[in-house]
Amino acid sequence: MRCVLWIQLCLLLVLNTRTAELTISSSCQSHCGKISIPYPFGIGNGCYLNEWYEVQCNHSTSRKFVPFLPKINREVVEINFPRPLNFLDEYYNLFGSIRIKTKITSMGCSGGDGENLEEVFNFTGSPFSIGEKNMLMAFGCNNKATLTNIDPKIVGCVSTCNITTVQLFPAVINCFDYQCCNASTPTEVGQVIGVKIESADGNKTRQGCNVAFLTDEHDQPSLWRNKTDPRKLHGGKYATIQLKWRVITTNLSFQESLGCPENFDSTRPCYCEWVADDELLFIRCACTYGYEGNPYIINGCKDFDECKQLKEDGRPEFCTNRGQTCQNIPGSYQCVVKKSKTFLIYIGVSIGLSLVIVSVGIWLYKYMKKYKRTNLKKKFFKRNGGILLQQQMVSREGHVEKTIVFSSKELEKATESFSLERVLGHGGQGTVFKGMLVDGRIVAVKKSKVVDEDKMEEFINEIVILSQINHRNIVKIFGCCLETEIPLLVYEFIPNSNLFELLHENLDDHSLMTWSLRLQIAVDTAGAVSYLHSAAGSPIYHRDIKSTNIMLDKNYRAKVSDFGTSRSVTTDHTHLTTVVTGTAGYVDPEYFQSSHFTDKSDVYSFGVVLVELYHWRKTCFFSTVSRKQNTSNLLHSCRKRKQTVGNY
């Protein structure tokens, strides 16, 4: 029982250590002289799979390093892996190949070594077997060479110098001279074979030097040129034969560790199969077609570029048809139709012309859009009285600021394209936006709802007149913009709210409205009205004085604003006859009845504001006023709401 446990433990240790052998240490010697020594073969401890694959790198008599297999006592000439495998290949292609040196059998040749009439190769129990590429060769006269240990098969040939025999059997002679013969080795020879030499007549008579040997160089010119003389071949002492090799292992996880499937898959880099032979377990591996390298180490099979393969004349091996180019892909290649230079030039020119056409189209579109926008601005400028304003500016040069006219682009930039976040307030005449000019001035931009084109001349005159006003209690007008559909007016910006909001909406600010402040507001407003009526170049009637049009600056000083309905009169006129406009509660009753607006009408509206300052009560407000409305009804409605009325 104890012995069984020891055996199981040893097997586990073997399995674990074998898996680790699939990686090669970088310290392992990869060559001996000019010969490559790939894994599972190796030089030095830990560099080979097991003792069968140990290689010793020894000094030869010529002082060159030569590889040597001590287990079979043979010098190595070359080690190869199986060629890349495809689905048409047979299983025997999974063998690797190794070329070794062997002694030459001889008879009747002089030399201190004596005769060697038979050479036997026995590789029983090893991973090596005789390769199919070898051929039996015999040189000399009256020479019979046979292969032994291959029962029941009989293979051999006779080399003769009899001219008659040569003429009778010319097909069997493949030598340049007549003193040679050859015979192919049978398939699946196995691990044991021998080469025997004797006289062809059976009496062992000697007719000079005769040699026979197995070799894989039978198709090499180096064997034939000036070497058909048996004495020269005997002097070389050695020939090379090909052996097949595979891997002996007890590690059942060997294949899994390599990552090579047991069922052939052309998409995988490698393939392995297990073989049981004479109570030994072998594994044979090969790279699949399109890959090359070492299939016995992890990731040892690498994709190779078929497109770099050339024929003997230097031309590509693949994709040789006209117009094709080779493109490498993992494990294979593909032929791609190569586009001609003419086609590429055509594509390039087409793309270039397309880009030019598109660029010209975009430029024309932008140009036409800009042209239309410029013409539209000119149209608006002319319709909104721009020509008249220019004439007024020229006739009043020195009195009117030349910066009075703003472009639409300037005001769009100042108000962020009239953003809703810039809105200061809405009124009956339009919307007011906060803006900042390029010189840093903060302004209020008034965007009117509608402008009467028939009154455009009066509108321009009012702008010119108002631009001359310079009074600290009147909101200054900086200019206008006539390039838009409806003209824009630019005023001085007042940071605080108007008087109406302070009296009736911002109840928290009532503590500020002392008698002194209210009196100051009344005085400021009175000074502004007096200036408009008497001190301006031409008398100006405001026509809409009310608490919402009295702005308060940061020091709560009053500034009269909103001249949208204002009119100027000559000094020889005492009144204006117009359609009644204004705000209910502030309109002069006489003006309401007669449509004659005088300076006293502004004073009446100012009086209503004084009543608001005194009582802190709203006037009766209506959104519109028309001549057909009855004054008594207005008064009755206001008294019913218990509010202050305009004719208090």
Place of tokens 């019913």: 640
Catalytic residue check, 219: no
Domains and CATH numbers, the chain: 21-80 (no CATH), 307-337 (no CATH), 384-493 (3.30.200.20), 495-648 (1.10.510.10)
Peptide bond into 152 cis (omega under 30): yes
pLDDT of residue 510: 66
Count the Cβ atoms, other than its own, within 10 Å of residue 331. Answer: 19
pLDDT confidence of residue 218: 64
Residue 520 confidence (pLDDT): 94
Residues 6+ apart with CB under 8 A from 563: 462, 466, 477, 540, 542
Please state, in angstroms and rounded to a whole number, the distance separating the CA atoms of residues 71 and 51.
7
pLDDT for the residue numbered 111: 62
Residue where the block lists tokens 């004719």:
647
Q: At what angle do helices 599-615 and 515-530 cross, to 10 degrees?
A: 170
- Cα–Cα dist 102/128, whole Å: 15
Q: What is the pLDDT of residue 250?
A: 80
With vertex at residue 95, the alpha carbon angle to CA 93 and CA 101, rounded to the nearest 5 degrees, is 125
- Dist. CA 142–CA 180, nearest whole Å: 10
Per-residue burial over 84-93, b if 16 or more Cβ lie within 10 Å, else e, is bbeeebeeee
In this prediction, residue 646 carries a pLDDT of 44
Give residue 626's pLDDT.
43
Burial profile 40-66: b = 16 or more Cβ within 10 angstroms, e = fewer:
bbbbeeebbbeebbbbebeeeeeeeeb
Is this structure's pTM higher than 0.75? no
Task: Find all residues with CB under 8 Å of 568, minimum gap 6, and list them.
Answer: 461, 462, 465, 536, 538, 539, 540, 541
Chunked in runs of 10, what are the mean pLDDT values of the chain (648 residues)? Answer: 38 40 74 93 92 91 87 94 73 81 86 73 91 88 89 86 53 54 85 90 71 80 60 81 90 83 85 81 88 91 90 87 86 81 81 94 92 86 79 63 76 91 78 90 84 69 74 88 86 86 74 85 92 79 87 90 72 56 79 77 89 80 43 46 48
3-state secondary structure of 175: coil
pLDDT of residue 1: 39
Q: How far apart are CA 536 and CA 144, in angstroms?
A: 146
Catalytic residue among 216, 524, 544, 599: 544
Residue 575 confidence (pLDDT): 53
pLDDT at 3: 42
